[in-house]
A and B are shown apart, each in its own frame.
Chain A
Amino acid sequence: MSSTTMSDARPFQDDFDALDASSPLADLRREALDRFHELGWPTTRSEAWRYTNLRPLTASDLALAPEATVDASVIEPYLIEDAQVHRIVFVNGRFDDGLSDIGSLPAGVTVGHLADALKGNADAVMSHLGSTFDWKADALDALNMAFIEDGLYIHVPANTQLEQPVHVLHVTVTDPAAAVVTHPRTLIVVEDGSRATCIESCFGTGDDTCLVNPVTEIIAGHGAHVDHYREVREGQETWHLGTLGVTQGNDGQVNSCCLALDGKVIRNAMTGTMEGTDAMANFRGLAWGTADRHIDNFLRVNHMKPDCNSREYFKYILDDASTATFTGRIYVEQDAQKTDAVQTNRNLLLNEKARVYTRPQLEIFADDVKCTHGATIGRLDEDARFYLEARGIGREAANSLLIFAFANEVIEDIAFEALRSRLETILLDRLPDGGMFR
């Protein structure tokens, strides 16, 4: 491992040179690293990063996280209890066979790691990598692309139901001596008429400064149904700067939910593109801000064809001196008549020092569409609190219940019951007297 700073002529060049140059990805990776150097780290002068300042991160010595292993006890708290899943574990971005338990899969289905898939069918895999959003537009996306070595690859062939969810655990082994960087990569291809569920859990082994730079792409065919969750439970000094790209064909449905629970800075840059007609996209998010955490959802939903529905529903709970930003752009192509798009960002401010910046943006070129956006910023409802108190519930517990209720509107519709109940437990455990309501 070598260390890299902004003062070096070519940041990450040494790390890059150590990668396998014979990989089918070698050219793409080189192009991506060049692109990263061309763009440089994003600054708050760019629109996409206006409210998220990376300087404190980029000022530190950053280096690609080395190969590492962790004990089973490290992943244990993050396993989903009482549920059968295909489990796949990546430590510092690399597949960990020993901790994974993929189990048996329906015929034709792949749940494996990219490095493997590239050996078998490099062209098919590569045709999808970076296809769901403009990776060249953002330095961090380019950087992820430059360092793709491994990652999760899910492929569900046409008319196939993957009944059990895939649970992928991205573990970052933090290092007190160096700020490590990981670039988790996930590619989910669900062909026509098929169905899959994937849960990503991102967490670290410690509270040392590090950068987790994950990119997930979902390619959903005609009539495909994909449920996707990303649970961000990183260390307290982790910069989790994630990207999600989604494309979908006709008639299908994609649901994705980002749960920003722990980390220093948590960004979710998402691009959802509805390339077909009659499709439904449901993007949700819950963010919990404490201490000086910063949360950034930067979303773009593209309606390219008629008769699609999209829903964006993002809720923030902001305590202490946490800050958050929400940017939601809905783009409607001229051809995308009868688009029905709704965007909502609701914020619960629990402390006078907490701040939120919310920016809805509509870009509409069709004339027969329904696009609405709404943002609210509020405090706990005193009438509701009094009602609870008048039933014998103490002030602090009543506050907790109302905060939980606010959050629960995002998670109560989670179809995967074991995950929903786990999230409920996580939320209630964080709230004073929350245990009363379990």
Chain B
Amino acid sequence: MLSIKNLHASVEDTPILKGINLEIPAGEVHSIMGPNGSGKSTLARVLAGEESYEVTDGSVTFNGVDLLDMDPDVRAREGLFMAFQYPVEIPGVSTKYFLRAAVNAVREHRGLDELDAYEFLKEVKEKAEVLDLDTSLLDRSVNEGFSGGEKKRAEIFQMAMLDPSMCVLDETDSGLDIDALKIVSDGVNALRNEKRSFLVITHYQRLLNYIVPDRVHVLMDGQIVESGDRDLGMKLEEQGYAGVEHPCGADA
């Protein structure tokens, strides 16, 4: 599904990612954990195609195609979805209109018919229910005035609507209380299937109690320093990131 090889990326000439290798097969949930500043969010944003991150080396293929060669909107239409750590508030843009345009852009790309207003609303209702999302939020401007929990739920809701094959969750748990965390996790788990893959980026193991990963990778200073199964997350919780050997030998 997603194959990252020797990925290097910089922001304003400062190297952040320093050779990441990662394979995520179809249907698997991988988690990336790491301390602040390790490059977790940079990885998410490079995958989504944000311009201010410059890829200096390496490759990413998505379903066999060069991902880095695509514009961000094409990546999304090809089935890559990033749930933002900080969803952007866009005053004046109705969530409903925005989302219908997005859904139809994606559908057109995949050779599907446009959803008309009725079909779209039917779909909205179904998907919103799973996430316990108040559909009146959709009449508001995109993310504007949403609570932290509402924003994160809205991200997962968008994910459900866009039906991606590769989902990148960038610290979706940050700022969520335990109830909201459960709702968001249930929403994600409802979307798990043998074709869809997830990359769950988080600082805390807590999220992984709800979204149980197949693999856990530890990112430090722009490199994956350890990979393992779910137990690796538990170990990190007990010992902290200091318990993981630093690739450069420095005492973190």
A residues apposed to B, CB below 8 Å: 381-384, 386-395, 397-398, 401-402, 404-409, 412, 436-438
Min Cβ gap B80→A in Å is 9
* Docked-complex contact B51 and A386, CB < 8 angstroms: yes
B91 within 8 Å of A (CB atoms): yes
Residues of B within 8 A of A407 (CB): 92
Q: Given that A383-B88, A401-B98 are known contacts, is A392 also in contact with B93, CB under 8 Å in the complex?
A: no
Min Cβ gap A423→B in Å is 13
Bound Cα distance A404, B92 (Å): 8
Residues of B within 8 A of A436 (CB): 101, 104-105
* Docked-complex contact A389 and B98, CB < 8 angstroms: no
Q: Given that A408-B92, A412-B92 are known contacts, is A392 also in contact with B98, CB under 8 Å in the complex?
A: no
Residues of A within 8 A of B93 (CB): 401-402, 404-405, 408
Bound Cα distance A436, B109 (Å): 14
Closest 4 CB pairs of A and B: A405-B92, A392-B76, A391-B102, A387-B88
A411 (CB) vs chain B CBs: closest residue: B92
B46 within 8 Å of A (CB atoms): no
Contact mask B68-111 → A, CB, 8 Å, 1/0? 00011101110001101001101111000111011011100100
* Docked-complex contact A437 and B98, CB < 8 angstroms: yes
Residues of B within 8 A of A390 (CB): 48-49, 72-73, 75-76, 81-82, 84
Bound Cα distance A384, B88 (Å): 6
Min Cβ gap B154→A in Å is 12
Residues of A within 8 A of B73 (CB): 389-395, 398
Bound Cα distance A328, B75 (Å): 46
A selection of 17 A-B contacts at a CB cut-off of 8 Å is A381-B90, A386-B88, A387-B84, A388-B102, A389-B72, A390-B76, A391-B73, A391-B76, A392-B76, A392-B106, A394-B105, A395-B71, A405-B141, A406-B92, A409-B92, A436-B101, A437-B101
Residues of A within 8 A of B92 (CB): 404-409, 412
Residues of A within 8 A of B105 (CB): 391-394, 397, 436
Residues of A within 8 A of B109 (CB): 392
A406 (CB) vs chain B CBs: closest residue: B92
Contact mask B151-184 → A, CB, 8 Å, 1/0? 0000000100010000000000000000000000
Total B residues in contact with A, Cβ cutoff 8 Å = 32
Min Cβ gap A433→B in Å is 9
Bound Cα distance A83, B49 (Å): 46
Residues of A within 8 A of B84 (CB): 387, 390
Min Cβ gap B59→A in Å is 21
Residues of A within 8 A of B162 (CB): 391-392
Q: Given that A387-B84, A397-B101, A408-B92 are known contacts, is A392 also in contact with B77, CB under 8 Å in the complex?
A: yes
* Docked-complex contact B91 and A393, CB < 8 angstroms: no
Residues of B within 8 A of A401 (CB): 93, 98, 101
Min Cβ gap B36→A in Å is 21
Bound Cα distance A29, B202 (Å): 76
Tell me what chain A mostly uses at the interface: helix, strand, loop, or mixed. Answer: helix
B86 (CB) vs chain A CBs: closest residue: A383
Bound Cα distance A395, B74 (Å): 10
Min Cβ gap B71→A in Å is 7
Q: Given that A395-B73, A401-B98, A409-B92 are known contacts, is A387 also in contact with B87, CB under 8 Å in the complex?
A: yes
* Docked-complex contact A405 and B91, CB < 8 angstroms: yes
Contact mask B101-137 → A, CB, 8 Å, 1/0? 1101110010000000000000000000000000000
Interface centre among B72, B87, B104, B141 (most CB of A within 10 A): B72
Min Cβ gap A382→B in Å is 8
Bound Cα distance A390, B71 (Å): 9
Interface centre among B51, B90, B92 (most CB of A within 10 A): B92
Other CB < 8 Å A-B pairs besides A391-B162, A401-B93, A401-B101, 9 of them?
Answer: A384-B88, A387-B84, A388-B98, A389-B49, A391-B98, A393-B105, A402-B90, A404-B92, A437-B97
Residues of B within 8 A of A395 (CB): 71, 73
Residues of B within 8 A of A383 (CB): 88
Bound Cα distance A436, B99 (Å): 11
A407 (CB) vs chain B CBs: closest residue: B92
Residues of A within 8 A of B142 (CB): 387
* Docked-complex contact A392 and B102, CB < 8 angstroms: yes
Q: Given that A436-B104, A437-B97, A437-B101 are known contacts, is A391 also in contact with B88, CB under 8 Å in the complex?
A: no
Residues of B within 8 A of A388 (CB): 90, 98, 102
Interface centre among B71, B73, B77, B109 (most CB of A within 10 A): B73
B52 (CB) vs chain A CBs: closest residue: A382
B50 within 8 Å of A (CB atoms): yes
Bound Cα distance A394, B104 (Å): 12
Residues of A within 8 A of B82 (CB): 390
* Docked-complex contact A391 and B91, CB < 8 angstroms: no
Bound Cα distance A387, B102 (Å): 11
Bound Cα distance A395, B71 (Å): 9
Bound Cα distance A392, B105 (Å): 6
Bound Cα distance A397, B97 (Å): 13
Bound Cα distance A407, B92 (Å): 8
Bound Cα distance A437, B90 (Å): 14
Bound Cα distance A71, B84 (Å): 55
Min Cβ gap A384→B in Å is 5
Min Cβ gap A363→B in Å is 31
Min Cβ gap A183→B in Å is 36
Bound Cα distance A381, B72 (Å): 16
Residues of B within 8 A of A384 (CB): 88, 90
Bound Cα distance A359, B106 (Å): 45
Bound Cα distance A394, B71 (Å): 9
* Docked-complex contact A389 and B101, CB < 8 angstroms: no
Min Cβ gap A67→B in Å is 44
Bound Cα distance A419, B247 (Å): 64
* Docked-complex contact B72 and A386, CB < 8 angstroms: yes
Min Cβ gap A306→B in Å is 33
Bound Cα distance A257, B72 (Å): 38
Q: Which of B6-55 contact A (CB under 8 A)?
A: 48-51
Q: Given that A389-B72, A392-B162, A393-B101 are known contacts, is A409 also in contact with B91, CB under 8 Å in the complex?
A: yes
